[in-house]
Structure 1
Amino acid sequence: MSSGFFSRRGFLNSAAGMTVGPAPAAVHAGGGAVSDAEEEAPVLTYHELTGGSVTARPGGRTLIAEVQGVLWSVPRDGGAARQLTGWSLEATRPALSPDGGTVAVCGYRGGGFHLWSLRSDGGGLRQLTDGPWDDRAVAWSPDGSRLAFSSERGGSSVGGSAYGLWTLDVGSGHRTRVTGGAFDDIDPVWWPDGRSLVCVRAAHRADGTGDGGLALVRVALAGGEATVLRTVTEGRLLCPSVSPGGRIAYLHLSGTSSSPSLPAARATLMVDGQAVSRDEDLAAAPPCWLGEDELLYVADGRVRIRTIATGATRDVPFTARMSSPRRPWRPRARVVADNRAPVKGIHLPALSPDGRHVAFVALNALWLMPLGGAPRKLLQAAPVHDVQMPSWAPDGRSLLYCTDRDGLVAVRRLRLADGGDELVAGDGRLYPALSPDGSRLACQDIAGNLLERDLATGRERVLVRPLATDGPPGAPSWSPDGRYVAFCDRNRLNRRFREGYHLIRVVDTLTGGERRHLPAEHQSLSDRVAAGPAWSPDGRWMALVAESALWLLPVTAEGAPAGPARRLTDEPADHPGWSGDSRTLLYLSCGRLRLLDLDSAAVPVRTRRLPGPHLIARRPAGGPAERLRIHAGQLWDGTGDSPRQDVDILVHGNRITAVEPHRARRPAHHGIDASGQTVVPGLIDSHTHPYTATYGARQNLAALAYGVTTAVCLGGPLYEAVRLRESAATGHSLGPRHLACAELIDGSRTAYSMGRAHRTRAGVERTLRRATALDVDFVKTYVRASGRVMAQAAETAHRLGVPCGSHLCSPGRAAGQDLTTHLQATQRLPYGHATTPLGHIHQDLIEQYADGLFSLIITPFTAQYLLGGDPGLAEDPRVRNLLPPWDVAAVQDRAKNPPTAAQRKALTTEMANYRRLAAQGARLALGTDTPLVPAGLSLHLALRALHAHGFSPAQALRCATTVPARLFGLDADLGTVRAGKIADLTVVDGDPFTDFTALVDTALVLRDGVAHRPSDLVGVHRARDHRPPQGTTWLHIARAFQRGSCCRFGDGPDARDQYT
């Protein structure tokens, strides 16, 4: 076994390098000529820019334009563009040197924003800055000797940093800090004398956010107080540009929100405080002065030149052609035909204090397995409930676990000797851990607060609140003296962008003080679910997972790092846990349990590969044994534009055997009378995330009750996602079938609990090995994953026969991915290349999707506003009984308020984008991003929004049936109602082809040939008053969850932070 160290200087002294993954073959990754293979590939042709930028030198003959992350040289009067850079550089905001010979850009190659330069002919590409901090928004000094930029440099990897202004001497490489303080300075540009800079300044707020940038200021390089040039009271300022004579042009966005899914109300081009354009769709890019009265900028998707005095404009037409190779791959069938399969979804295994047993959850049951023996089932949850999170009592005589059988997730204790079972903590308590003396419980509440509960008195107190609201923190782990609790949380490195590091947070239960630590500088733990830290019972070590490998961090009695972390494994690792003598570590690797024996110095002695657990997932042979006939008054079978009338759907087991005209008598068939109803294929939600930690089984029940028969996970804890897939497939959990996806594959920084952080190539490879071993159905990269990691993930997915996607159309398509999981959500750029600040799309974006080779999962968050137009939806028993109380509060709150004019405009803009894409041939699948919005109901709101804005009933329904079935390789079994297909059917009490709002009235759902009535499902949980966490309300919690998400749609206060 090899080992390595995290040094406290921020290096990984292991075999892992700092670069990640190769670009796919035949993909143009750098400047230069395009290969013959690329010339034969599909070609994307661009005439417009969405989120692009342009620059030029006064009197120059060419422009430098950035279109979808690639630089192009364009003749000054228009014409054919010449490609200067490849896709993997991800060049943005080009700045042309005063002599016109050199272009400076901000690039993302390698997984961080840094400054690069190249000659204006595309040669001589050179990286100018590097390191763990982001450098953005570059500008040349008037004499061409220096570059100004905005950077986080100078901060702390634990405490974060503000964005300040820096300069770089191009000749020597020397960097000089200009500003830094309780504000963010962004978008710098030089004053004509070269002795000061103009920038946007965003003030910091007490709640940890920023105001977005309400002031333009001028700062001298020599220091001193900034001079305020312009201020606004709302919205944000961005992208100033100064003419040689000192005139200042800039953009003002008004009517903004903190959401990446909501557009601004207006974008105004300003010069010296006066509006020169109010009615253009402006790109979030700096205008460029061509003279004292002439501006070059991007508006309405066009490169435009404006004469300020007269208001006259002219566009510069261009044609840019870029090769888009697509490596063919074969989707494999995702519906398993084999009736038996080994169980891989092992949830949170826990080693007993005596080191002789392992407790774990699988197939919705709690199991106990002696080492080397067969597992014994301790408890089987009912299919309508969930069991999870086993944890040992210190004496080894009982197990704590969580279940939602009483409504919300609660902690219970199971005595092993007699099977006695008692409630320990209810009303939404999760991740239980008993103190070493067994007298106190550490756990979390629904809001992610770390609690301490005295078991003798029942008294409970909040120790600390979470740093982030985008998923719960990790499980608590006690120090051996019971004074300290360690757990994994996430910091935020700056106030502009939400990403940070998964770090170790140690709380003193006596004083309430806390400390935060990383295993090394700028080194994140892998995630907040499976990565620890697990404090050894002797107090000397914390076991943790970073770069998807197992590490030991020596710690003091207070939990502070006492030296460099040591890597124990080369293989992927998850869920570390200790034996009571601190001599054995249990962990999961690629679905298998491992025991690592350590000597007294915690040096590995041997690794034991435990057999099993030999659990077999026995998939039901199908639906009921008798033959079934559904008499449909009308059937829309997933094809055509109109339903068929008076049809019999014959089912045997879980398969449709025939679809025929109705006959009054069919011997040997059990009948379901839907003669007054409409039958459609079972609905598919193409974008979900399993949040069983807080939702228990409610998310599944609510989705099924609204007719959703397949839920596609697009990111979740890997073992949990596979556990849910297996439990649903075997009938141990009731709900839609699940397609499983591992954690979001991210860069060195991340946001969500399920975001998997990586600095190294080796870490990415381990993560992809995990996904392959557990046979995921989708591979997703996230916002900070570099283009090369995106390409590596796509290659792995395609070897598995499954699709791969991300938030980013560029560079997603170029990297070989198959789709984006939203049109517009969190991007790594402030605004990205998907929509403009006003929410519109242009031809270059449409071109990404128009040939059908690259697909789009649409997630219409603005459809939530439709609740205010139909408040009766909030009183549906499926809302009141099946959704958790925070979702109920949010639905009822939205239902009280009819959509405002701004909200209606945002919805109309979003729907118009989807209509344009569909008209050009784009493949659109419909998802919700549940549970960021309520399960089940939100799919119907999205369908209503599509229909209300121009989609026919059949067109809207295809987005939730046939298109996703094809997209995810399910079309041989799902998506249409035909002989031979699986009997997934939704029966609607009404006719959605004459009244589309009737679609929400689900009368019956068949999944795998088994019928479920929503009226039965709502009886699982009766509506009751659960207590919210101390000092808050359920509505406040719902809004906090929204503020922490990638796709907020306007609830709660406007945080005004930037969009990633």
Structure 2
Amino acid sequence: MRTAHRRRLGVVALACLLATTATTSATSATTSATNAAPRPRTVPVTVSEGTNLAVAVSPRDGSLVVDLQGQLFSLPPQGGTATAIGADFLDPYWPSFSPDGSRIALQSFVAGMFHIRTVAPDGTDARTITRGEHDDLYPAWSPDGRQIAFTSDRQGGEDIWTVDVRSGAVRRITSAATAETHPTWHPDGRSIAYVQGNAVESVDLATGAVRTVVPAGPGFVGAPSWSPDGKRLAFLRGGQGGRTLQVSEAGVVRQVGDYRDVFPFPPRWRDADELVYGANGHIAVTRVSTGASREIPFSATFQLKRDRYERKAHDFDSRRPKPVRGIAGPALSPDGGSVVFKALNDLWLLPVGGRPEQLTRDGFHESDPAWSRDGTRIAYASDKAGSIDLYALDVATRREQRLTSSPGAEVAPAWSPDGKALAFQDQNAQTLTLDLASGAGTRVLGPLNAPGRPSWSPDGRTLALAVSAADRNQILLADLATGTTRTVEPGPFASLSTRGDDGPVWSPDGRALAFSMDSTIHVLPVDPSGTPTGPARQVTGEASDAPTWGPGNTLLYLNNGRLKKTTATGGHPTDVPVGLTYTRDKPDSRVVVRAGRLWDGKNAVPRTDVDIIVVDNRIRSIEPHRPDRPLAGWRYVDASALTVTPGLVDMHVHQEMRAKYVGDRLGRLLLSYGITTTRSTGDPVYRAVEDREALDAGARTGPRFFMTGEMLEGSRVGWEFARPVRSERQLGLELSRVRELDYDLVKTYERFPFDWQARVADRAHGLGVPITSHYLYPGIAHGVDMKEHLAGPTKWGFAFARDASAGGVYDDVVQLAARGGMPFSTTLFSSGSMLADDPGMENDPRIRALYTPQERQTLHAKVLCAQGLGPCGFLDGNAEQARREVGVVKRLLAAGGTVLAGTDAPLDTMAVSLHLNLRAMGKYGVDPFAVLQSATLLSARQLGVERDLGSVEEGKLADLVFTGGDASRDLAKLADVRMVMKNGRLSTVDELLAPFTGLATRAE
């Protein structure tokens, strides 16, 4: 547990680290510059409605404390003007007054875990009551004020515990296999009621006897609260019709009050008959005996610090060579003499101290190179035959052998010590072994949640790999003979940095596992079975990833785009110069495009019959069509029967999440649907940098890519492309990565502390880089630029967000987002319901050629779901959900806010989902002009490239889409792409599909 004193010292250490990072020049990315400090401006926003607000009632004077958007406000009993109290980053939840009114208990995330804290009624004097590497939730005071009951996972499950407020001593109250949550103390102090499943139970504290207070019924229950006389139990019951307030009295349960969107917090008793709670955007008061309800009016003002800062420069035209930083999956040869890696869409072999040699020369996808133990062969994955298969390359002769040929994908090969087998993974996240002599495959593990690459023990008996376990990235050891598995912590309550190329990797002598943890390389001593024989020791002090062993104790790793070597005992690292550069692709061409219609991105009504003059990669002019225009030396494109629009932008993708399973199809698919720009909101960093550089160099076919690395996350982590950050020092390392790998965006994720988020925003803005997250407040008050999803997952889970309740969004969210200038991305998973209007989309030639068999199955299931002919997936929504979500979009736009088109692909269907998002907005009432701008000009503006992209104007980059209809009148026509031009290079859809046309069918 970090104390306040240690946190202050950490801030000083971080400041020193940032100062050092800021002075680094030789290794900084070429397009970033250290800009002037951000210039904040304060924007006051006053609201009179609240989304998912919580209320606490003082037993002293009836005054209220309200948790509104994560900010505490005090309010007189009768309502009126609220006063902000408490620290900006207190991050409170579930507030409740002590019986004497002297303290307020909270569930607070201020230290990076949920713990119970108390504050004075004015929000000052914060005290930490519980501590540890676990979550303590839902505080409830004992009647005498000496204890607080809460839910905790400190013993692995969700049980009821109590803590002595003065001593901090804890006691476990329940220990059932099921989850027990939302405790409330009976007024006599002898029992605690809680939610179990969809019922309310009570445990006798003296005997441990459990009885049912509210029997299980339809829908879910939550937030029980005993009346002061112990005769009534108020609670919430929810279902598809909303969430209502219920009261159980003498065994009879009835609804009280007429509200259908009661917010998910305990209703607070003012006396034995009157309840105060949040509902339908208001503070509600209901008299239980009569059911009469009224509302307590309030107004609350937020002070938002919104940064003005110079965005980082993007040079789209220079042909100046740039150093390659996107080195993916490097592997040191067993003799230590060479490194194989992926860069610029090919595999390279680098003699240590020499110049890199290109091993592959094609437009197809390669990944995951791995040396055989004798150093004579390199295994890797490629889609050159249509699907992602494994190949073995003889290093001496350069001859290669295709090892797999299934219609699915095989990736992440690892050689057995004797060279007779490979371990690998497939598109279902299964780990298998392949006998090279017979070609027989054997499943070892899985499917798992995005495991890391396997590593084979030197004795051939065990596989080690990174897995998700207990909300952390841990080491799984699989015994190949017995099939048994076990997990090992890399350190106490620690995580591997990612589940990808960050290890664990077995040393040649079998005595150690190397991995990245806390963003540096560590070595864990182990016995032959992988069992640790001591604690892991840190061997690097800089941002370090992708360890790989050479002879003896040699370790190769990546430091912010540079290869370095060290030893397992530490010491000063040495550089391994790569010497690889690339130049930005820029066509030397002169093109005249005759457009029958041109929707330019700035005007609602298209122009007709114009000539778009493109020289190299930019639009020189747009003129009325001239039949007599001289065309000698020009390429003429007759689009007189087509509509030209700006290239589309998908503002929310995780492009590398499944790229290694999809390969070269991905970029071609996106372009074939008119998407010429994508923006990552979280990806494995080196794969993302490699992708951006390969696309910029023209070595890969696909949209231009605005990348970020792993999402910055707290100590608990779920996604493989999130990076757990546990200390201020590590945060400094991550910020060095942002600068030196030239991020286009920083994303902080669900459990990243808000005070760190504000610090990251300030530092990123100094580099000209925006920051985004899943949260509206307090990020909007401390410089965060954008919010992802209209309503997305949070650290409280899918069931709760401060910006969307069961009944929708209230005016606080709308006003804060609009007046604070924070755009939202759409990510309308419910737009899959649009497939009912156009089920033929799944039979489009682009889908048949460029979707993998697994992706086609997923899309087909979505069509059946939309038609009501099959089950729906977890993320699928229906037409009514789409209507409601687009209603939020309309309200945001009407208030002056900004909504940008994004999909969360590949969690949603790649490419198709962007068109479904746009169609859903149009179908349910957003003006088509606003819909189109959400995927063009407004997205370019948010990316900071409005001068170059987002509209068809003189001087801008030539990113154009040619469609068979007028999308300004019919948004469905936007998917009827015939040709696409990106950066001045024109491709027909048939040309994009050609390398894979027929291959998928033959592979099946």
Same fold (TM over 0.5): yes
| Separation in 2, partners of 1:39, 1:368 | 48
Residues 604 and 291 (structure 1), Cα distance of their counterparts in 2 relative to 1, 3 Å cut = closer
Q: What is the Cα deviation at residue 858 of structure 1?
A: 1.8
Residue 840 of structure 1, CA deviation: 0.6
Aligned to 1:1057: none
User: 1:275 matched to which residue of 2?
Assistant: 255
Partner residue, 1:550: 521
Tell me if 1:191 matches 2:183: no
1:484 to 440, 462, 471: 462
- Give unpaired runs (5+ residues) of structure 2: 16-37
Q: What amino acid does structure 2 have at the position aligned with 1:990?
A: G
Offset at 1:626?
Answer: 3.7
* 2:393 pairs with one of 395, 400, 414: 414
Between 1:59-68 and 1:944-953, the stretch displaced more is 59-68
Distance in 2 of aligned mates of 1:278 and 1:701? 54
* Counterparts of 1:619 and 1:638, CA distance in 2: 26
Contact 1:52 1:68 in 2 (8 A): yes
Matches within 5 A, 1:590-629: 590-596=560-566, 598=567, 602-611=568-577, 613-622=578-587, 625-629=588-592
> In 1, Cα distance between the equivalents of 2:237 and 2:846?
44
Matches within 5 A, 1:812-831: 812-830=779-797, 831=799
Could you tell me which amino acid in structure 2 is paired with residue 375 of structure 1? P
In the alignment, the residues of structure 1 paired with residue 69 and residue 803 of structure 2 have an alpha-carbon distance, to the nearest angstrom, of 11
Aligned-pair CA distance for 1:603? 2.0
Equivalent residue runs for 1:621-700 within 5 Å: 621-622=586-587, 625-668=588-631, 669-690=634-655, 691-700=658-667
| Aligned-partner Cα distance in 2 for 1:223–1:724 | 62
Bigger relative contact order, structure 1 or 2, given CA contacts below 8 A and separation 6+? Answer: 1
**In structure 1, how many angstroms separate the alpha carbons of the residues matched to 2:823 and 2:491?**
39
* % identical aligned pairs: 36
In structure 2, relative to structure 1, the CA distance for the partners of 1:22 and 1:271 (3 Å cut) is farther
The whole-number CA distance in structure 2 between the counterparts of 1:355 and 1:39 is 51
2:229 to 227, 231, 245: 245
Which residue of 1 is the match for residue 345 of structure 2? Answer: 364
Query: Residues 249, 377 of structure 1: CA spacing in aligned structure 2 closer, same or farther, 3 A cutoff?
Result: same
Counterparts of 1:332 and 1:688 in 2: how far apart (Å)? 21
Structure 1 residue 249: Cα displacement: 1.3
2:937 maps to 1:936: no
Q: Is the 8 A contact 1:334 1:777 kept in 2?
A: no
What is the CA deviation profile of residues 142-193 of structure 1, one whole-angstrom value per residue up to 9, with x for unaligned ones? 1211111111112xxxxxx111111111122211110123111111111121
Distance (whole Å) between structure 2 residues aligned to residue 40 and residue 533 of structure 1: 46
CA deviation after TM superposition for structure 1 residue 22, in Å = 10
Q: Match for 2:367 among 364, 369, 388?
A: 388
State the partner residue of 2:285. 305
Q: CA deviation at 1:278?
A: 5.9
Deviations 1:574-617 (A, max 9, x none): 100001x3321000101111011x3xxx4235421112x11111
2:380 paired with 1:401:
yes
Q: Matches of 2:959 and 2:189 in 1, distance apart?
A: 68
- State the secondary structure of the residue aligned to 1:326: strand
Asked if residue 789 in structure 1 is aligned to residue 756 in structure 2, the reply is yes
Tell me: CA distance 1:96–1:735, structure 2 relative to 1, closer, same or farther (3 Å): same
The answer on 1:217 being equivalent to 2:201 is: yes
Q: Which amino acid aligns with 2:310?
A: R
**What does 1:804-883 correspond to in 2, within 5 Å?**
804-830=771-797, 831-883=799-851
Whether contact under 8 Å (2:780, 2:820) holds in the other structure is no
Residues 234 and 539 (structure 1), Cα distance of their counterparts in 2 relative to 1, 3 Å cut:
farther
Partner of 1:266: 242
Contact 2:522 2:538 in 1 (8 A): yes
> Does 2:717 correspond to 1:716?
no
1:360·1:366 contact (CA, 8 Å) conserved in 2? Answer: yes
Say if 1:547 and 1:764, in contact at 8 Å, map to a contact too.
no
Q: Is the 8 A contact 2:611 2:624 kept in 1?
A: yes
Post-superposition CA distance 1:342-365 (Å, at most 9, x none): 111001110001100000110001
SS in structure 1 at match of 2:531? coil
Q: Cα gap change, 1:136/1:38 in structure 2, threshold over 3 Å: closer, same or farther?
A: farther
Change (3 A) 1:70 1:805: same
Secondary structure of 1:183's counterpart equals coil
Q: Partners of 1:860 and 1:16 in 2: how far apart?
A: 39
Q: Determine the C-alpha separation between the residues in 2 that align with 1:130 and 1:216.
A: 28
Paired residues for 1:425-824 under 5 Å: 425-427=404-406, 428-468=409-449, 472-491=450-469, 493=470, 500-579=471-550, 581-596=551-566, 598=567, 602-611=568-577, 613-622=578-587, 625-668=588-631, 669-690=634-655, 691-824=658-791
Structure 1 residues 23, 467: closer, same or farther in 2, change over 3 A? same
Q: What whole-Å deviation, never above 9, does each CA across 1:677-718 have from its counterpart, x for those lacking one?
A: 211100000011123222212222211110000011111011
Which of 842, 846, 857 is the equivalent residue of 1:889?
857
Kindly tell me the number of residue pairs found equivalent between the two proteins. Answer: 960
Q: Matches of 1:478 and 1:795 in 2, distance apart?
A: 43
Which AA in structure 1 matches 2:904?
A: D
- Any conservation in 1 of the 2:540–2:570 contact (CA below 8 Å)? no
* Change in CA separation of 1:59 and 1:592 when aligned onto 2, cut-off 3 Å: closer
Q: CA deviation at 1:873?
A: 1.1
**Shift of residue 437, structure 1, vs aligned partner:** 0.5
> What residue ranges of structure 1 are gaps of 5+ in the alignment?
1-9, 25-36, 155-160, 202-212, 256-264, 494-499, 1029-1033, 1035-1060
Conserved in 2, the CA contact under 8 Å of 1:333 and 1:972?
Answer: no
State the 1:1006 CA deviation: 0.5
Structure-2-length-normalised TM-score: 0.93
| Matches of 1:39 and 1:58, distance apart in 2 | 40
Shift of 1:530: 3.1
User: Residues of 2 paired with 1:462 and 1:585: CA distance?
Assistant: 30
Determine helix, strand or coil for the equivalent of 1:222: coil
- 1:853 deviation in Å? 2.7
CA–CA distance in structure 2, aligned partners of residues 962 and 752 of structure 1: 31
Distance in 2 between residues matched to 1:271 and 1:816, nearest whole Å: 43
RMSD (CA atoms): 2.3
Shift in CA distance, 617/1024, structure 1 to aligned 2, threshold 3 Å? closer
Contact 1:267/1:278, CA 8 A, preserved across alignment = no
Paired residues of 1:431 and 1:443 also in contact (CA < 8 A): yes
CA distance in 2, matches of 1:294, 1:793: 45
Q: Is the 8 A contact 1:747 1:786 kept in 2?
A: yes
> Would the aligned equivalents of 1:335 and 1:970 in 2 still touch at CA under 8 Å?
no
Tell me the CA shift for residue 307 of structure 1. Answer: 1.8
Aligned pair partner of 2:356 in 350, 362, 375: 375
Cα distance in 2 for residues equivalent to 1:520 and 1:540: 17
Identify if the C-alpha distance between structure 1 residues 745 and 809 changes in structure 2 by more than 3 Å, giving closer, same or farther: same
Deviates more, 1:853-862 or 1:932-941: 853-862
Deviations 1:466-508 (A, max 9, x none): 442xxx21111111100001000111x3xxxxxx000000100
Counterparts in 2 of 1:283-302, with a 5 A limit?
283-302=263-282
Alpha-carbon shift at residue 116 of structure 1 (Å): 0.9
Larger deviation: 679-688 or 273-282? 273-282
Q: Is the 8 A contact 1:21 1:761 kept in 2?
A: no
Distance (Å, rounded) in 2 between the aligned partners of 1:923 and 1:915: 10
- Output the CA distance in 1 between the equivalents of 2:395 and 2:418: 19
CA contact (8 A) 2:429 2:451 kept: yes
1:228 equivalent to 2:212? Answer: yes
Q: Check 1:1021–1:230 CA distance in 2 against 1; reply closer, same or farther (3 A cut).
A: farther
Indicate yes or no: 2:878 matched with 1:903.
yes
Say whether the 8 Å CA contact 2:162–2:171 is kept in structure 1: yes
Kindly tell me: are residues 459 and 511 of structure 1, through their superposed partners in 2, closer, same or farther at Cα, counting changes over 3 Å?
A: same
Q: Secondary structure at the match of 1:628?
A: strand
1:423 partnered with 2:407 = no
Which residue is 1:93 aligned to? 94
User: Do 2:304 and 2:820's aligned partners in 1 also have CA atoms closer than 8 Å?
Assistant: no
